[in-house]
Amino acid sequence: MEKYKVCPSCKTQNEPTLLECINCETDITRVKITDEKTERMLAEDVAGQQAAIVKWIRVCECGAKNPANARKCQSCNEDISDITPALDQEEEQTVSTYVLSSIDGQYVYKMTADEVIIGRENIMSDYLSAKSYVSRAHAKLVLKESELYIENMSNTNFTYVNNKKILEKTLLQDGDELGLGGTNVNGRRQEQAAYFLVRAGQCM
């Protein structure tokens, strides 16, 4: 998978090392590196979640909002069984979906469970099994209230977020670089370690 930066102004795909768009010269220093597979997975997941969070309600004459299956108003106890359910136009929820995209462009993992252990003999083993610096159970990923956390489980080569060794459960942000078993030294990464970009997609 080819990595690139998408210019926010003209949508041109640029090499990940560039600081300015080759087409319109817009500053793309802070633009997140991505690839087609990662963007497609994020878009598909957000679209599905947007459909899933639609909320139906019954609005009583007193103005109270009730669940769509309610037969009596929770506020005034009036019969609302004959009121047709409607979409709650004011309901807003933020849903986040997270994807880990390997720096080498060979692997993409979408977080679908609330908690997983990643490592050479756990989740992502089809990619990590060849990485000797990665432990069998290297780290734990926890998805809680639309936020993704990582916790190190390796006592040998450790886990790094943006090149810093983590000592406790750490919140991951869109664009963070995750290193399993290795660091980035002067732009060079260790071949037997594994490196990922964290990508997050959100919808309301």
pLDDT at 159: 97
Of 93 and 193, more confident: 193
Residues 34/5, Cβ–Cβ less than 8 Å = yes
Q: What is the mean pLDDT of residues 113-126?
A: 94
pTM above 0.75, yes or no: no
Is the pLDDT at 204 greater than 50? The verdict is: no
Nearest to 162 by CA among 99, 170, 80: 170
Give the least confident one: 17-31, 34-48, 74-88. 34-48
Q: Are 146 and 94 in contact (CB under 8 A)?
A: yes
59-80 pLDDT, tens digit per residue, is: 999 888 888 888 898 889 999 9
